[in-house]
Structure 1
Amino acid sequence: MAGNGPAPKDPNRRQRRNKEAVPQTVLRWERAEAPELPDFRIEQDGDLVEFVWPERTREWWQSWIDSPQAEHFGSADWQYLLDTALIHARHWKGDKTAAAELRLRVSEFGSTPSSRARLRMVFAEADDADQGRGSSGVPSARERYGNLRSINGGRTEPGKST
């Protein structure tokens, strides 16, 4: 008697083959340095005036430069983030219509735990720092209770459950 269940379907008759619908394009990677927030002029009441970056946007920009994600940014990523900095500045200058676009743009770079999870980003140093323990650094249950043995050898008495 062979294995359990019906015989496998002929591979030529399968509906799903889980192949890529579009082939993947492999690009040569070139890391880029972060640009400085630029000085420029904007038109205000018919005059050109120097644009002043909000201090909060300057701090935000520096946080991206210092972020672990930054080592994976190419020049196009920095340009996109620079455009996002303008939206960030608009938001901090009181333009609340910029909030939704800002949220969408920064999530593309892994700005929150949920966006990092969606992008499948993890922090490598965390594993080294906690030496394979959980995120709390507390020893695992196996480490704490690994030497414990059942007194009755794992048997249960009649009428009792474990």
Structure 2
Amino acid sequence: MAGMGPAPKPDGRKARRNKDTVPQTVLRWERAEAPELPDFRIEKGEELVEFHWPERTREWWQMWIDSPQSEHFGSSDWQYLLDTALIHARLWRGDLSAAAELRLRVAAFGATPADRARLRMVFAEADGADGGSGRSGEPSARERYGNLRPITGGKSEPGKRAQ
């Protein structure tokens, strides 16, 4: 029955208006090339010594350079990942307290299938691998078995198999 109940709130007083209250900032995209792992010195005692990257961290760094995600990294992404490489190096030198921070940082880049799902990343290569034909390149079941016909070995009674 129309007219029953309280009157609707004025638009300015409604709790939900289903729109963003903060406007979105659109940035100009600039892809950046991956930097090399830098050479630098660290303090050890009272002297400066050359820092040596663990081989495992060098392999890890190359993995990120070669990853599909890196096509979408800007300069600030590479700088953040470079700082993350230092954490990776700490972990591979035996500092296990670095593991949690490393896990959080690489998750932001889509390191695992779960991270990529959360970030809504998918691999496009799977869609284009068949050239858009929807086929794997192997003969289809129809092509492989299209000429096969059922064998009928004479008449048999319903429910019994022919011999």
TM-score normalized by the length of structure 2: 0.71
Q: CA deviation at 1:37?
A: 0.1
Match of 1:112 in 2: 112
- Give the partner amino acid of 1:120: R
Match of 1:121 in 2: 121
Match of 2:16 in 1: 16
- Give the partner amino acid of 2:83: D
CA distance in 2, matches of 1:101, 1:38: 21
- Give the partner amino acid of 2:65: I
C-alpha offsets along residues 12-53 of structure 1, whole Å, 9 cap, x if unaligned?
A: 597533211311100000000000000000011211110000
CA distance in 1, matches of 2:10, 2:117: 34
Secondary structure at the counterpart of residue 42 of structure 1: strand
Residue pairs, 1:27-46, within 5 angstroms: 27-46=27-46
Residue pairs, 1:19-98, within 5 angstroms: 19-98=19-98
CA distance in 1, matches of 2:92, 2:43: 19
CA distance in 1, matches of 2:21, 2:117: 24
CA distance in 1, matches of 2:68, 2:37: 19
- Give the partner amino acid of 1:72: H
- Give the partner amino acid of 1:54: P
C-alpha offsets along residues 53-99 of structure 1, whole Å, 9 cap, x if unaligned?
A: 00000000000000000010000000000000000000000001100
TM-score normalized by the length of structure 1: 0.71
Q: CA deviation at 1:127?
A: 1.3
Superposed CA RMSD in Å reads 2.6
CA distance in 2, matches of 1:77, 1:110: 12
Match of 1:3 in 2: none
**Are the structure 2 counterparts of residues 10 and 126 from structure 1 closer, same or farther at C-alpha, using a change threshold of 3 Å?**
farther
CA distance in 1, matches of 2:60, 2:128: 28
Q: CA deviation at 1:113?
A: 0.6
Q: CA deviation at 1:10?
A: 9.8
Q: Which has the larger radius of gyration?
A: 2
- Give the partner amino acid of 1:93: R
CA distance in 1, matches of 2:90, 2:58: 13
